[in-house]
Structure 1
Amino acid sequence: MVRAPAWCLCQGRRRSGDRRTWRTDRAVTLFERYLTLWVALCIGVGIILGTVFPQVFALIATAEVARVNLIVAALVWLMIVPMLLKVDFRGLADVRRHWKGVGITLFINWAVKPFSMAALAAFFIGWLFAPWLPAGQVSSYIAGLILLAAAPCTAMVFVWSNLCEGDPAYTLGQVALNDLIMVVAFAPIVGLLLGVAAISVPWDTLLLSVLIYIVVPVMVAQVVRGALMARGGQAALDRLLARLGPVSLVALLATLVLLFGFQGQQIVARPLVIALLAIPILVQVYFNAGLAYWLGRRFGVAWCVAAPSALIGASNFFELAVAAAIALFGLESGAALATVVGVLVEVPVMLSVVALVKRSRGWYERGIAADRPKAA
């Protein structure tokens, strides 16, 4: 039997391993739940540092090879690889047991979410809010929102699934399948939607970003995971994840400080920009979560699968979006700012979705019971 991450196997139980590992993991989980607070602090710190030490940020911006900023790339790797270590591709064996839930989530993630975000970005940013936004950045903002929605979340969904008591086997299998699809689908979807939005696509940089931020980290994570499991089993993997968890979060926050350091003057001059960029993100999250949840009820999917399905369908791989936006459009671009706004709003919005699916469980299961003969 394929094991899900140890901390999400059941509610209310301590994970296996020593007390120090358990305490560290619990602290990381609490840190993730309050990520919005830390992001808000990073905004302030980044703006202050960018104003006081502009020459330092200018120097950082020059550390590039083939349009990939080396400092940001290192930070993104520190963010992504620990997350990918949690993914066991043997979990794909459980996909068949939850084929309805998997099918719904795949439909939302790859056929609805990127295209709905492109439409929302064009409506809100390209038309409705355009008079209040800097004209030269409108297309860049749209590009950032498209990047944000083009890949489903990989790691934080384990937190959301655990909070809503979702089926861990389904969550693990769905994330593993999404990661495999992302390797081949991310670049074509981004290229298509940016082209439709009449935004120039630097294909060489886009493909390089996929290689650096998806393909290589997936391969490295699986090699390291396999070696650890062969030598020390799940306990060895848990110990490494406990050590890397804080490093991953610090890398995320350091990246945000850099981004807001570069964007500081623009934000101070136009604070309304962040609020306006948040609106299509909010609409997109609630729309996709609601559609996935409704489809689960309509097709008779068990609640413990439908709840994480709604969360996986709505959440975004913001670490990848931030890295791709920087590589494609630069540290000071509107695209980079739009993806960072996604980080800012994602955590509280997803926690609200968790609360909604938990409170509506009775309604959901009554509907399943009423439609059971039809679903069968």
Structure 2
Amino acid sequence: MTETATPPAVVGKLSTLDRFLPVWIGAAMAVGLLLGRGVPGIGTAIEKVQVDGISLPIALGLLVMMYPVLAKVRYDRLDTVTGDRKLMVSSLVLNWLVGPAVMFALAWLMLPDLPEYRTGLIIVGLARCIAMVIIWNDLACGDREAAAVLVAINSVFQVLMFAVLGWFYLSVLPGWLGLEKTNIAISPWQIAKSVLIFLGIPLVAGFVTRRYGERAKGRNRYEQRFLPRLGPWALYGLLFTIVILFALQGDQITSHPVDVVRIAAPLLAYFAIMWGGGYLLGAALRLGYARTTTLAFTAAGNNFELAIAVAIATYGASSGQALAGVVGPLIEVPVLVGLVYVSLALRRRFRAAASSEAVTTTATRITSDKGRSVS
């Protein structure tokens, strides 16, 4: 999806894949759930296809999903992002101070009687997104370079801070507040491994493709011919990943509908607070549409692959904590797809505000110039 392909006047020019994206995502979710429910042992079979605890089907889907987007990034422009202190500081605050605290509060307020699900949601809140957020940001015409930088920063903080924050929010803070404490066991290597595979591989591949593609074909040919052919594979990878994720736990999700609803409620509140808060903050700081959108989506997204892996490794595959992690993408995928369209609608307001500000500035200058000429 390109910047120019979103206004209503040109919706008809979008590819079938882009125009009916919500339909394809809904179908992928349904297919995954049906496979998980209707094909005995499919979840177990998929889980067995792994290397050192990493699911190969999920890894394949995520790599195919992220590579085309990262091949579009203009790596020569990254310095314009790292120099934007307002964006960088805002992202760090939203992701590593606000996000975990909001999920902790919502989990305790809305699931006080369900400790396993509550713990699972707190783990989800600690796992900041490094994969699907790149897709949501690209579909919403956010700043690709900013997304690449913020995701990379989240990855570093994830390796350094995940275990520390898990200990704080599950053991220390509940103790201070007189609440029930729990423990989490996760090695820094397990987190680093997830980051290296799910972000490192497609990031390096995208960088190498961009660097040598431009050298061989020239920038115009690379962007106008090669990238349009590569682009649809991001959505193919997304749909494949959704099918696999939902097939893994389709039986568990459909067997516990009431529990799914209980888990979904704080997740919906979390996405609304984080995405809305990110958008309001970006607008207040005048980051512009593209970077405001990137800030909002990176704040709202979560790394469910890591959260599920941690929950399974610590509490077991059939645990309530694991179910809470699995329900995460069940809620995140349709919600963030909806927010993509909300973002695209808000873009008009950003443009209108920018135009109004430009007119006001011009009028002020003209008035000032007239005053000077009179004097």
Q: 2:41 is paired with a residue of what secondary structure?
A: helix
Tell me the amino acid that sits aligned with residue 292 of structure 1. G
Which of 1, 16, 36 is matched with 1:50 structurally? 36
How far apart, CA to CA, are the structure 2 residues paired with 1:319 and 1:32? 21
How far apart, CA to CA, are the structure 2 residues paired with 1:367 and 1:178? 28
Stretches of structure 2 that go unaligned for 5 or more consecutive residues are: 171-183, 366-375
Which of 66, 71, 85 is matched with 1:103 structurally? 85
CA contact (8 A) 2:106 2:270 kept: yes
How far apart, CA to CA, are the structure 2 residues paired with 1:317 and 1:37? 25
How far apart, CA to CA, are the structure 2 residues paired with 1:315 and 1:122? 20
TM-score by structure 1 length?
A: 0.75
CA contact (8 A) 2:68 2:234 kept: yes
Structure 1 residues 9 and 358: alpha-carbon distance in aligned structure 2, compared to 1, 3 A threshold: closer
CA contact (8 A) 1:154 1:317 kept: no
Compute the displacement of 1:249 (Å): 1.4
Q: 2:186 is paired with a residue of what secondary structure?
A: coil
1:315 corresponds to 2:297:
yes
Compute the displacement of 1:362 (Å): 4.9
Compute the displacement of 1:137 (Å): 2.8
Tell me the amino acid that sits aligned with residue 169 of structure 2. A
1:80 corresponds to 2:70:
no
Tell which structure's C-alpha radius of gyration is larger: 2
**Which residue number in structure 2 is paired with residue 141 of structure 1?**
121
CA contact (8 A) 1:147 1:325 kept: yes
CA contact (8 A) 2:275 2:300 kept: no
How far apart, CA to CA, are the structure 1 residues paired with 2:341 and 2:164? 31
The C-alpha deviation readout for 1:154-195, integer Å capped at 9, x for no partner, is 354344237xxxxxxxx3542343354345333224334323
Structure 1 residues 365 and 125: alpha-carbon distance in aligned structure 2, compared to 1, 3 A threshold: farther
Compute the displacement of 1:321 (Å): 1.7
Structure 1 residues 278 and 357: alpha-carbon distance in aligned structure 2, compared to 1, 3 A threshold: same
**Which residue number in structure 2 is paired with residue 217 of structure 1?**
202
Compute the displacement of 1:289 (Å): 1.0
Which of 192, 195, 201 is matched with 2:167 structurally? 195
Structure 1 residues 247 and 353: alpha-carbon distance in aligned structure 2, compared to 1, 3 A threshold: closer
CA contact (8 A) 1:284 1:314 kept: yes
Which of 111, 116, 127 is matched with 2:109 structurally? 127
CA contact (8 A) 1:75 1:255 kept: yes
**Which residue number in structure 2 is paired with residue 178 of structure 1?**
150
How far apart, CA to CA, are the structure 2 residues paired with 1:238 and 1:324? 35
Tell me the amino acid that sits aligned with residue 260 of structure 1. F
CA contact (8 A) 1:76 1:323 kept: no
How many residue pairs match? The answer is 332
CA contact (8 A) 2:282 2:292 kept: yes
1:344 corresponds to 2:334:
yes
Structure 1 residues 314 and 216: alpha-carbon distance in aligned structure 2, compared to 1, 3 A threshold: same
Compute the displacement of 1:243 (Å): 3.2
Structure 1 residues 42 and 180: alpha-carbon distance in aligned structure 2, compared to 1, 3 A threshold: closer
Counterparts of 1:60-79 in structure 2 under 5 Å?
Answer: 60-79=46-65
Compute the displacement of 1:130 (Å): 3.9
How far apart, CA to CA, are the structure 1 residues paired with 2:24 and 2:5? 28
Compute the displacement of 1:78 (Å): 0.8
1:284 corresponds to 2:266:
no
The C-alpha deviation readout for 1:106-147, integer Å capped at 9, x for no partner, is 12211223322212211112332344xx54232122222332
**Which residue number in structure 2 is paired with residue 166 of structure 1?**
none
Q: 1:185 is paired with a residue of what secondary structure?
A: helix
Compute the displacement of 1:211 (Å): 1.2
1:356 corresponds to 2:346:
yes
Structure 1 residues 201 and 150: alpha-carbon distance in aligned structure 2, compared to 1, 3 A threshold: farther
Compute the displacement of 1:319 (Å): 8.9
CA contact (8 A) 2:32 2:245 kept: yes
How far apart, CA to CA, are the structure 2 residues paired with 1:140 and 1:286? 23
Structure 1 residues 364 and 89: alpha-carbon distance in aligned structure 2, compared to 1, 3 A threshold: closer
- Quote the RMSD (CA, aligned, Å): 3.5
CA contact (8 A) 1:125 1:142 kept: yes
Q: 1:54 is paired with a residue of what secondary structure?
A: coil
Structure 1 residues 93 and 277: alpha-carbon distance in aligned structure 2, compared to 1, 3 A threshold: closer
How far apart, CA to CA, are the structure 2 residues paired with 1:317 and 1:250? 24
Compute the displacement of 1:148 (Å): 4.2
CA contact (8 A) 1:36 1:345 kept: no
TM-score by structure 2 length?
A: 0.75
Percentage identity across aligned positions? 20
Structure 1 residues 126 and 289: alpha-carbon distance in aligned structure 2, compared to 1, 3 A threshold: same
The C-alpha deviation readout for 1:47-93, integer Å capped at 9, x for no partner, is 21111113122111112222111121111111111111111210125
CA contact (8 A) 2:131 2:199 kept: no
How far apart, CA to CA, are the structure 2 residues paired with 1:83 and 1:57? 29
